[in-house]
Structure 1
Amino acid sequence: MPKNNPSSSALSAMLAKTVGELVAEDFRRAHVFSQFGIDFCCGGGKALSIACERAGADSDQVLLALNSATLTGTQEDKLNQLPLDELMAYIETTHHQYVREKAPLLIEYAEKMVRAHGKNYQEIIPFAGWIRALVDDLLPHLAKEEQILFPAIRALSQGEHIESCFGHIGNPINAMQYEHEEAGQILQKLHALTNGFTPPEYACTTWRVCYATLAEFEVDLHRHIHLENNILFPKALNLVSA
């Protein structure tokens, strides 16, 4: 490699880090991972070397692209430095609120598409079903975080002893991560059904708006899950292992 590139030891160290750790250092790296088809939210716990292999991506090319993403103070860097109670408040007011605002719109658009075009374009019928499945997964998930997990993490961060029915804090965290995986799998199905949220030439306005909204929804959900899986949850687990 050219002499102005990082040393081989630095590159090896980067390959050994998890995808989630790399994104936590600078969220712009998420855009690099997206370009190479590497899952940085639900799959953020995998070492970069393994993630590259599973995505069929050339690790040298990925490293070069990551190196070009200069580390400066992004918003996500600042979020990484927030106290846990402020980070959870940010997640609730930004990402939880976003889901609650956009989810009903996605259902409305998808169901309108089925009523107007389902007879002629039957591929949108399963699409509407998967939209409903995604929303039905996410809304109870948000409530469990806000009513059970986040209050427990707040108490731990303040040095309080918590009495709970779930035992170790890792138990509800594992449950939330599993539900993140389920949401990610549904998004993958929606990706496949919609050709990457690309409306066909004959799509009506509602169809196009629905796909555009869903593409935006996916970006927000990736950021949402990243903040929890790769920043909030590891820090919460450190509270009980320290």
Structure 2
Amino acid sequence: MPYDFLDTQLGTIARELPGATRVLHAQRLDFCCNGQRTLAEACLRKGIDPAATVAALEQLCAVDQDEQNWNHASAEQLIQHILTRYHECHREQLSELIRLARRVEQVHGNNPDCPNGLTDHLSDMQQELESHMAKEEQILFPMLMRGEESLSRGPISVMRFEHDQHSQALDKLYALTNEVTPPPHACNTWQALYRGLNEFCADLMDHMHLENNILFVTQVTAKAL
């Protein structure tokens, strides 16, 4: 890819440069549902200086990358990776995060820094994500595995719409948790909760990116041409 990062779309950077998703996520730049925006446009919308992001991306270009490049994987390989790395992982993550959030709210609910409402929000996310993943596992992924690209276009449109909803849910999560930043006085449980939230948010963004920008594009659109 041409490494003129400022004028390159976020989705392209995330798709073609291994390790870039971590850099973009650290800046809360949505490379998934808003992956059509250039880095310059996204930084302008966020009100951040793109210089540090560009420097971090350039550093990735200068070192060897061990991360798997999924652009050239088969649909079967990518789907299996999504199922084991993300679907199974999200189910474990959310159950524990809900437990930790409930404990923090019970103990620290009167603290103005407490993320009150987070437990309910995570429970809502769990229900919505479970429904979403079930549709993929039972309907969409079997279609793609059978090579039924034309039949899969409708379900893919639904999955993309639901990804937008998941992205909005992440925005609310960030708002509830001060960008997932624990206060200086946070107890061990509170800190563990926020570490887990950061991991979950990064995983969910990577999950949606692999589907929106690779599986739904290179494995479907390209075959339909």
- Structure 1 207/68 Cα, relative in aligned 2: closer, same or farther at 3 Å? closer
Letter in 2 for 1:107: I
SS at match of 2:61: coil
Query: What is the CA–CA distance in structure 2 between the aligned matches of 1:62 and 1:113, rounded to whole Å?
Result: 33
Answer yes or no: is 1:66 the counterpart of 2:57.
yes
Unaligned runs of 5+ in 2: none
Does structure 1 retain, via aligned residues, the 8 Å contact 2:15–2:213?
yes
1:136 maps to what in 2? 127
Answer yes or no: is 1:189 the counterpart of 2:172.
yes
Count of aligned pairs: 222
Normalised TM-score (structure 2): 0.84
Q: 1:1-242 counterparts in 2 under 5 A?
A: 10=2, 14-58=5-49, 62-70=53-61, 72-77=64-69, 79-118=70-109, 120-121=110-111, 123-156=114-147, 168-242=151-225
Residue 131 of structure 1 deviates from its aligned partner by 1.4
Normalised TM-score (structure 1): 0.79
Q: Which deviates more, 37-46 or 170-179?
A: 37-46
Q: Which deviates more, 42-51 or 16-25?
A: 42-51
- Structure 1 20/104 Cα, relative in aligned 2: closer, same or farther at 3 Å? same
The CA RMSD over aligned residues, in Å, is 2.6
SS at match of 1:175: helix
Instruction: Write the deviation string for residues 40-82 of structure 1: whole angstroms up to 9, x where unpaired.
Output: 12222334443343233456765454333216443231x3221
Query: What is the CA–CA distance in structure 1 between the aligned matches of 2:133 and 2:56, rounded to whole Å?
Result: 34
Letter in 1 for 2:153: G
Unaligned runs of 5+ in 1: 1-9
Does structure 2 retain, via aligned residues, the 8 Å contact 1:26–1:76?
no
**Greater Rg by CA:** 1
SS at match of 1:45: coil
Query: What is the CA–CA distance in structure 2 between the aligned matches of 1:64 and 1:209, rounded to whole Å?
Result: 30
SS at match of 1:75: coil
1:3 maps to what in 2? none
- Structure 1 124/62 Cα, relative in aligned 2: closer, same or farther at 3 Å? closer
SS at match of 1:110: helix
Does structure 2 retain, via aligned residues, the 8 Å contact 1:191–1:197?
yes
